[in-house]
Chains A and B, each alone.
Chain A
């Protein structure tokens, strides 16, 4: 006899449980995370547009060293020279080619975005699953900590920590990652709680399945789309924060990112000289990345949350906000 059997969950012998709607679809359809995500956004035009833009940008970023017409460390003309045939977007305040800088900056900004989002989603998903699945005191403790992280004014703290640690790309990634996991944790926790209560999970428990088995076979696979959606939204958040930190002089001074390009344009009197070509492109590129991430991330989220479907660009997860619905 198994010790953990909960009598209310035991089915009469011989009764085969009907499949639950939320259950993974078995062997017929692929359950790999990417296949699930793809099925989710296949029918969403905005999601596909976002994905396409992201793919193109990632490709450019990966091929930046080959694609860039000039090196980012070679001065190729007079400072703030206007656009010309040889330099499509002109030169910046150091006499560097802006198109080449943009490609390199895209590379660094996307790296920061992806790496920081992975850290944030990793921490957030772990906290969320542990709190949601185990509940009780673990949940209460973790939620108290999350509550505190929610009220920290993120940007000022990041500035303090980035300043204390010193400017480097690794620190920027770490600071952003470690301070932006709360939203993921809250969303994942809520979902983990509902999965844990489903009958087939309880039956597995009563049959003696270990926590590790249930979490890895039933809880995590169903959370994947949610975590992916949150990661994509975290990427845009991280890229935003990178530009902010760089703008305040806390980025890595040895690397070109979209954030440092905006900073340079601000400091180097590009404004007073009317050198729009040094100011406009990095900002537009950031906006395009953020839009692409937002469209893609929300498309996944919408597909997996039927309650959001009526409100296509719903409120949830757009702001880092907790509505007091008593379900803390």
Chain B
């Protein structure tokens, strides 16, 4: 298949999925049991007049189709509604939350990728030795731990040395930019480390099996026969091919990590999109929940697309 064809086909597919996601997102929050108005008004004995006024204000007296139409129109204007919690536009809240989530998640992902690649490569290289066990066993152990629990353990263990909640130290008055960044980084260590550790186990296993597969290829045997040194074979010939599936898996999981940070953000009170979802549930803030849900779904679709295109770019065999 030609590159432009593939690109076009894949992008169109992603757009269709986006559309389905938007529709589903609309329907899910219309399928709530109980009247939307009584959820909205949240007054135990709201008068019929108030209910009617609310129904009209939110356009709930229109048909489902016309509600869907106006939902789509408002989406094109990037209007996701207004949060019940702070009466600000949902989109503004989400942008602020994403801005907080992304640095923490990025650091966590970097930790997991580095740990995963190093332990996976070591395990494959030293296959069948004690070293392999020492590389794989901790990876499996961390993989098996619930993220929220590992976070709590870290709070218990490190609360004397590192901040364990929030993003900034509120008692730091008028910090210089350098102080501010240092403060942020200190707050970021524990949440990012938790995320990195619970995620890296799967990368270890993927890197390991991918390396093993590559090392059994004929061209590696040829390289050995030619007499290249082992480090050179590993670094120059095996590693690059072995990274192919890893790149795609990492890109795919990126989309889920943003949503998966809910637990870590809740434990460490990190004001990101995960905590926003948690609080939206707590306060029955449906516009916020709906908005967050849409953003998370779209980010998964986007990263899936990126993963496919990257794979297409990197691996000439599937062209």
Give A residues with C-beta under 8 Å from B: 147-148, 150-157, 159-161, 163-165, 236, 240, 243-244, 247-250, 259, 262, 265-266, 271, 274, 276, 279-280, 282-283, 286-288, 290-291, 294, 308, 310-315, 318-326
CB pair A159 B277 closer than 8 Å: yes
CB pair B300 A152 closer than 8 Å: yes
Instruction: List A contacts of B149 (CB < 8 A).
Output: 243, 262, 279, 282-283, 286
CA distance A116 to B206 in the complex (A): 27
Interface flag for B210 (CB, 8 Å): yes
Instruction: List A contacts of B289 (CB < 8 A).
Output: 160, 163
Instruction: List A contacts of B156 (CB < 8 A).
Output: 271, 274, 276, 279
Instruction: List B contacts of A282 (CB < 8 A).
Output: 149
CA distance A250 to B143 in the complex (A): 23
CB pair A324 B311 closer than 8 Å: yes
Decide if the interface of chain A is mainly helix, strand, loop or mixed.
helix
Interface flag for B145 (CB, 8 Å): yes
CB pair A148 B146 closer than 8 Å: no
Q: Which residue of the partner chain B has the closest CB to A325? A: B318
CB pair B144 A287 closer than 8 Å: yes
Task: Flag the segment in B43-51, B66-74, B254-262 that touches A.
Answer: B254-262
CB pair A291 B216 closer than 8 Å: no
CA distance A294 to B289 in the complex (A): 33
CB pair A321 B263 closer than 8 Å: no
Instruction: List A contacts of B20 (CB < 8 A).
Output: 148
Give B residues with C-beta under 8 Å from A: 17, 20-21, 24, 28-29, 32-33, 136, 140-141, 143-150, 152-153, 155-156, 159, 202, 205-206, 208-210, 212-213, 216, 245, 248-249, 252-253, 255-256, 258-260, 262-263, 266-267, 277-278, 281-282, 289, 292-293, 296-297, 300-301, 304, 307-308, 311-312, 318
Partner of A148, one of B24, B143, B152, B281: B24
CB pair B281 A310 closer than 8 Å: no
CB pair B206 A318 closer than 8 Å: yes
Q: Could you list 27 examples of A-B contacts with CB < 8 Å?
A: A148-B21, A153-B260, A153-B297, A153-B300, A154-B256, A156-B296, A159-B278, A159-B281, A160-B29, A160-B289, A244-B147, A244-B148, A244-B262, A247-B266, A248-B263, A248-B266, A262-B149, A271-B155, A274-B156, A283-B145, A287-B141, A310-B213, A312-B209, A313-B205, A318-B206, A321-B253, A325-B318
Question: Given the known A-B contacts A265-B152, A271-B152, are A324 and B248 also in contact in the complex, defined by CB atoms under 8 Å?
Answer: yes
Q: Which residue of the partner chain A has the closest CB to B304? A: A151
**Contacts between the two chains (Cβ within 8 Å), count:** 167
CB pair B256 A153 closer than 8 Å: yes
Question: Given the known A-B contacts A148-B24, A153-B300, A248-B266, are A283 and B150 also in contact in the complex, defined by CB atoms under 8 Å?
Answer: yes
CB pair B253 A286 closer than 8 Å: no
CA distance A157 to B28 in the complex (A): 10
